[in-house]
Amino acid sequence: MRLMLQFLLAMLVIVFLSALHIGLAFVLPFPWSKINIILTLLVVLIFWWDSGFIIWLSFFSHFIIELYTTAPFGILLTSGTFSILLAFWLYKYLFTNRSWYAVSALGFLTIFIYRAIYIMAILLLKFFGLSQELPWQNIFQTLLWELLFSVPTIALLFFIVSRFSRRLNTSLEHSSLFKV
């Protein structure tokens, strides 16, 4: 029964992430609509859950988003899943402290890796003749807007969540080393 509840919760999170990402992209005005909601929430969840399950959440969320995009199938799915996979590895082996600047740096790298894989996939399709024109200006504008709005959103969300969660609280007064 517990496994069934976890599965249903995971499905709910996936649908919520995808719907929130699509909905806010249409509702928010231009620069704010470039916040990558899925990557923003997944980077914070990496620090909160500390589980590789985040990669599966990314895969299925990006799969749902892939169904509604105009890009060739698989580009967003591949770039989103691999960027979260690399972010999880970076979290495990490089960004080991749980501070707002570690989350900001990981968020910056995740979005940059996401767009780098996206560009490489588009170039690969162009090399094989499956894509005609590359909108370079739009790609780089989207990257800059995503970095400009998503990274501060990640830091702010982490700051807010860390105030209410014991898992993310990094202050020394709550540490067991300093309790008498």
pLDDT digits (tens, 9 = 90+) for 34-46: 999 999 999 999 9
The number of residues in the chain equals: 180
168 or 67: which leads in pLDDT:
67
Amino acid 41 reads L
Amino acid 127 reads F
- Report the Cα–Cα distance between both ends of the chain, in Å, rounded: 41
* CA separation for the pair 165, 129 (Å, rounded): 50
Going by C-alpha positions, the residue among 108, 59, 93 that lies closest to residue 79 is 59
179 or 155: which leads in pLDDT:
155
- Annotated domain spans of the chain: 2-169
* CA separation for the pair 55, 51 (Å, rounded): 9
Residue 167 phi, psi (nearest 5)? -65, -35
pTM above 0.85, yes or no: yes
53-71 pLDDT, tens digit each: 899 999 999 999 999 888 8
Going by C-alpha positions, the residue among 168, 122, 161, 152 that lies closest to residue 32 is 152
Which tokens is 2 given?
């517990």
126-155 pLDDT, tens digit each: 888 887 777 889 889 999 999 999 999 999
